Amino acid sequence: MLKLSLVAAGFFAIAAPLGAQKVRLEVVLPAQPAWADEPPAVSSAGLLADPSMRDLLSNGFPARLHYRLERWTSGRWFDDLKAAFEWDVILKYDVLGKKYQVVRVVNKKVESLGEYHATVDAESAVESPYKVAISLPKKGERGYYNLLLDVETLSLSDLDEVQRWLRGELKPAVSGKKNPGTALGRGVRTLVVRLLGGEKRHYEARTGTFRP
């Protein structure tokens, strides 16, 4: 029954960037009678399966997955954005402790999703279905959900630092509390990441149009 509802709602699987493994990203509606009463769930697979992504994680680069789910109404002439909900999932590998830490951040509140020694277990926690607390459509309101996801393996501060390093401007790190050698090392690693093209990836998925 679930498969029938997925097909009827017009769900799309999203392909990863060229050279990466395929990614599945879905917005899953509840059973049809509950479309106006229960929230949708977001599920995914393969987001962190790319070898370059795993290499970055194993070297201590945290992965940040930023989700934005939008609810649109379908009009005769144009569509209208009615609601949006955003959250983050952060995955970090503790090199010393040899374990992955997974957290979800919603409205600046942090929820631990557990600690894992196996990569596959950490990925399962990151990609597990999540019911999104977005405002629901009214009965008879024709519309659809649109999901946007950005996967990042670098913070803005990392990017700023490697740009300064490329220009030979290590003064911020030298004059502050950071060790210059450490700053240089991070700059080299960040440059490698940027050359690999792994710092940010964007995915989108949407449901078909439905009416509660």
Counting every residue written for the chain, the total comes to 212
Q: Which of 38-52, 72-86, 161-175 has the lowest mean pLDDT?
A: 161-175
> Residue 161: pLDDT above 60?
no
Query: Could you give the percent of the chain with pLDDT greater than 70?
Result: 68
Q: What is the pLDDT of residues 68-84, one digit of tens each?
A: 999 999 988 899 999 99
Contact call for residues 205 and 11 (beta carbons, < 8 A):
yes
Per-residue pLDDT band at 26 (split at 50, 70, 90): very high
More confident residue, 81 or 9: 81
What does pTM read for this prediction? Answer: 0.72
Q: What is the pLDDT of residues 107-154, one digit of tens each?
A: 988 899 999 999 999 999 999 999 999 999 999 999 999 999 999 875
More confident residue, 210 or 3: 210
Shortest CA distance to 105 belongs to which of 93, 113, 96? 113
CA distances from 41 to 137, 173, 181 (A): 15, 43, 45
Overall average pLDDT of the 40-44 stretch: 94
C-alpha torsion sign, points 166, 168, 174, 176: negative
